[in-house]
Amino acid sequence: MAKIITVAHQKGGVGKSTMALNLALCFQDQLKVALVDSDLQGSIYHVKDDFPGLSILSPEQISDIPYLAYDLIIVDTPPYLSNKLTDLFQFSDFVLVPTKAGFFDVMAIRSTLALIKFSQAKNTQLKAGIVLNMIKPRAAITKDITALLQSLRTPLLKTMIHDRVSITRSAMTSGILKTRDAKAKEEITSLAEEIVNLIST
């Protein structure tokens, strides 16, 4: 059975697609990985030819996810998919919720976390974590934002992903692991390792 990681946040503009793509690329050398682009606009699916070593599947294959023959499946979700998120969460092993560090971004996360809690009542194996994403270099994460995230009762991951040009452009440059940005590579691989550890415990 494949392990399934769903990247979700009902607010747009938090970097879900870029994060999902780079996480899939992190695992593809060790595992048979599929990335499911559930956005009907197919932003990731349309660049699948640029990533020949990675299986990128179309939105039409969402219902097939539990039956696909892969070791790991990462699902990228658009904001408007909220009515189907609970279905995705039902067969997911882990839900990763990226958020920026702004107050309103953190406030917007509550509805997604509520859906996760609802799904965890049925899928007791489902785990979740929040990751701070697109953090401005040298920006100090305020104690207020950290305390607010920690009060939401969903684990806040230790890894933070900073707002880097190399990450923003990674879908056009074969992924962050193919760049020379050592700090960006370290952040993405650290995130991948942290998720594996959370799923395994």
Tell me, what's the pLDDT at 72? 97
Cα–Cα dist 175/91, whole Å = 27
CB contact set of 86 (below 8 Å; sequence gap of 6+): 115, 118, 119
Amino acid at 118: F
What DSSP assignment string belongs to 129-140? EEEEEEEPTTPP
pTM of the full structure: 0.94
Percent of the chain with pLDDT over 90: 63
Using DSSP, state whether 162 is helix, strand or coil: strand
pLDDT tens per residue, range 55-65: 999 888 888 99
Domains in the chain and their CATH numbers? 3-194 (3.40.50.300)
Hey, what are 22's tokens? 């780079």
Per-residue pLDDT of the chain in tens (201 residues, 90 and over written 9):
899 999 999 888 899 999 999 999 999 999 999 999 988 777 888 889 999 889 999 888 888 998 999 999 999 998 776 678 888 999 999 999 999 988 888 888 998 999 999 999 999 999 999 999 998 866 666 677 888 888 898 999 999 999 999 999 999 889 999 999 999 999 999 999 999 999 987
Tell me, what's the pLDDT at 81? 62
pLDDT tens per residue, range 9-52: 988 889 999 999 999 999 999 999 999 998 877 788 888 999 98
Please state the three-class secondary structure of 52-100 as a single string.
CCCEEECHHHHHHHHHCCCCEEEEECCHHHHHHHHHHHHCCCEEEEEEC
Tell me, what's the pLDDT at 139? 63
